[in-house]
Amino acid sequence: MAAIESFDNIHLDLSREHGKCRFAESGLGWKPAGGGDTFTLDAGNIGGAQWSRAARGYEVKILQRSSGVIQLDGFQEEDYERLSKIFKSWYSTNLEYKEHSVRGWNWGKAEFGKAELSFNVQNRPAFEIPYSEISNTNLAGRNEIAVEFSLGDSAKANGQNGATPGKGRKAAAGRDQLVEMRFYIPGTTTRKEAEGGDA
Amino acid sequence: DKNGVEVKKFKRFESYKRDNQFPPKVRDMGIVIDAKNSTIVLPVMGRPVPFHINTIKNASKSDEGEWSFLRINFLSPGQGVGRKDDQPFEDASAHFVRSLTFRSMDGDRYADIANQISNLKRESVKKEQEKKDMED
């Protein structure tokens, strides 16, 4: 492997602008194509990595040791092998191939991980919500939880720019900005009555 | 439209089998109606997330200042209107996504999407009914 492995047309945390993503033994960096500050992540802060299908090609999600997740998307399907080697030999990390549910169901199990909420359908995530993107949650009704997302100060121009990862603007990244999501979670009394439920 | 006598049964459905079946338009990270597969694909944190038309209750558009909002409501337990809640579920003790709300400055687009979802829902209900009538 070369001392530096480089990938073009990669987006950092759903940035509107694409950039160059470079991996080295010491860590990784992302620089917007149009110029600007470079985001860097130290190899020591890489706690885990996942590979999955995203809207724009494929995504590498890095679970940081400190906290939070870094999303890099725009990879090609055939980049997997190269990336898998990079993570294995340089970061002693397995690039886990995460298959998502595409069944189209709206029922499953909301599970709370270290850095994100994962909605799983038949043990596969249908989507994940990094906690950094949530601005507010409240009990909206009986068994109903409302989760509101941060959309940035003036998110009129959809999509963020520059190297500002994990700052709570992923919900506003696309042409349709996600404002709120509501979940129905059966109550504890119902669960007790049902018996044997361990959720 | 229902005679209310027989118990409705839950029938399984599926949007896609594999993640390479998404319409190419999901790249734009916007809402995509995939009528062919009776599915609405919604962007959630950079991921295309399919929801089969059978999970959808309705969709509505509203306006607030220069923003337009599109709210998609899904079927979930405990929404029974009127006398009884006869909507069947595969697992009523599961967690459910109950609604998703998006915003955009393009109100016409949301009016159009809400309309398309309603049409798709109507067609799907009609098809189900026809299938049931054939079985009877």
pLDDT in tens, A171-196: 888 889 999 999 999 975 544 444 44
pLDDT above 90: residue A75: yes
Q: Are residues A66 and A121 in the same domain?
A: no
What is the residue range of A51's domain?
A: 4-97
- Which string of DSSP letters, residue by residue, matches B15-55? S-SSTT-S-GGGGG-S-EEEGGGTEEEEEETTEEEEEEGGG
Min Cα–Cα distance to chain B from A146, Å: 9
At A36, which CATH number? 2.30.29.30
Mean pLDDT of chain A, nearest integer: 88
Task: Tell if the CB–CB gap between B16 and A104 is shorter than 8 Å.
Answer: yes
Mean pLDDT of B21-41: 96
Confidence at A57, pLDDT banded by 50, 70, 90: very high
Residues of A with CB below 8 A from B94's CB? Answer: 107-109, 186
Confirm whether A104 is domain-assigned: no
Task: Tell if the CB–CB gap between A102 and B75 is shorter than 8 Å.
Answer: no
Domain final position from A46, A66, A97:
A97
Mean pLDDT of B111-127: 95
Mean pLDDT of A67-85: 96
Mean pLDDT of B93-102: 96
Q: Are residues A90 and A117 in the same domain?
A: no
At A157, which CATH number? 2.30.29.220
Confidence at A30, pLDDT banded by 50, 70, 90: very high
Cα A148–Cα B77–Cα B130 angle in degrees, nearest 5: 115
Q: Are residues A9 and A87 in the same domain?
A: yes
Residue type, A145: I
pLDDT computed for residue A179 by the predictor: 96
Residues of A with CB below 8 A from B21's CB? Answer: 102
- The domain tally of chain A equals 2
Q: Is B29-76+100-135 CATH 2.60.40.10?
A: no
Close Cβ partners of B134 (under 8 Å, ≥ 6 residues apart): none
Residues of B with CB below 8 A from A119's CB? Answer: 95, 97
CA A159 – CA A125 distance, rounded (Å): 24
pLDDT computed for residue A116 by the predictor: 94
Min Cα–Cα distance to chain A from B2, Å: 24
Confidence at B5, pLDDT banded by 50, 70, 90: low
Q: Are residues A64 and A125 in the same domain?
A: no
Residues of A with CB below 8 A from B57's CB? Answer: none
CA A111 – CA A118 distance, rounded (Å): 5
The one-character DSSP state at B84 is -
Q: Are residues A130 and A170 in the same domain?
A: yes
Cα A163–Cα A168–Cα A169 angle in degrees, nearest 5: 70
Report the first-to-last Cα separation within chain B, whole angstroms: 16
pLDDT computed for residue A157 by the predictor: 44
Q: Are residues A90 and A8 in the same domain?
A: yes
Of A103, A156, A185, nearest to B95 by CB-CB distance is A185
Q: Are residues A157 and A75 in the same domain?
A: no
The one-character DSSP state at B123 is H
Confirm whether A102 is domain-assigned: no
